[in-house]
Amino acid sequence: MYVILFYDIADRSLKERDNSRRIRKAVEKYLSRVQFSVFEGEIRESDLKKLKAYLRKHVHKELDSIVIYESTKVSYTDRIVIGIDKNETLFS
């Protein structure tokens, strides 16, 4: 399965506990970083299920936003980069 995930984590001053590092580390365990808060890559369905469960547990639902696009195959997507491709190796 191919996934594009991006998040917008609220500023730590708005929360009791800063969760941004925890969320970033969890996502980096499974996907490659494309931009500051954008990740993509192939992932097993079982790992995606684990990642989603972890994110649901650690996200502040009233303040944070995580969006995941899922595709059965990377070949079903077109990837267009304008400027520097920060993740060239993923598609070489």
CATH code for position 53: 3.30.70.240
Number of domains in the chain: 1
Asked, for residue 88, whether it belongs to a domain, the answer is no
pLDDT class of 92 with cuts at 50, 70, 90: very low
The DSSP annotation for 21-57 comes to HHHHHHHHTTSEEEETTEEEEE--HHHHHHHHHHHHH
Helix, strand, coil content of the chain in percent (nearest 5) = 35, 25, 40
**49 lies in a domain?**
yes
Q: Is residue 91 assigned to a domain? A: no
pLDDT digits (tens, 9 = 90+) for 13-65: 766 677 888 999 999 999 999 888 999 999 999 999 999 999 999 998 888 99
Domain that holds residue 46: 2-83
Q: What is the pLDDT of residue 86?
A: 72
Question: Is residue 76 assigned to a domain?
Answer: yes
> Is 10 among the domain residues?
yes
More reliable by pLDDT, 92 or 85: 85
Contacts of 19 (CB under 8 A, 6+ apart): 9, 58, 59, 60, 64
| Annotated binding residue 8 | yes
**Residue 36: inside a domain:** yes
